[in-house]
Amino acid sequence: MSSAMSRPKPNAPQSPEARLEHILNPSHPLCRDDIVWVLEYIKKKVTEEDPRLMDLPQPRLMQNFRYFADISLMLIQRRNGFDQEADRLKHWVYEAAYGLHPHRSADAAAKKNR
């Protein structure tokens, strides 16, 4: 059985928003490429000063950054073997991208991952 972080992703062209929604889908298993893509997407949106992020209160932006940093450190420190932490990692990805995926409820995600 392969690690959740090593599973290949389909190469279907998608808009960035559709890809983010697909990655955040609870039934979608995360792979390393998905996580790196989300981090790059968030970085791009921060650099562009996306209005959805600019409208967030500073405490929420700090939470986003905390999750972004946690994901980054997890990728650096543990190169594979994320199967046991897949649910927590999915929650972290969701929280790091908060504000960029308006179709989801933060409360529902938080309840699911408690």
The per-residue pLDDT for range 37-52, each reduced to its tens digit, is 999 999 999 999 999 9
For residue 98, give every residue at least 6 positions away whose Cβ sits within 8 Å of its Cβ, in sequence order, or none. 56, 60, 63, 64, 67, 106
What is the chain's length? 114
The per-residue pLDDT for range 90-114, each reduced to its tens digit, is 999 999 999 998 654 444 444 444 4
Mean pLDDT of 24-33: 90
Q: Model-level pTM?
A: 0.74
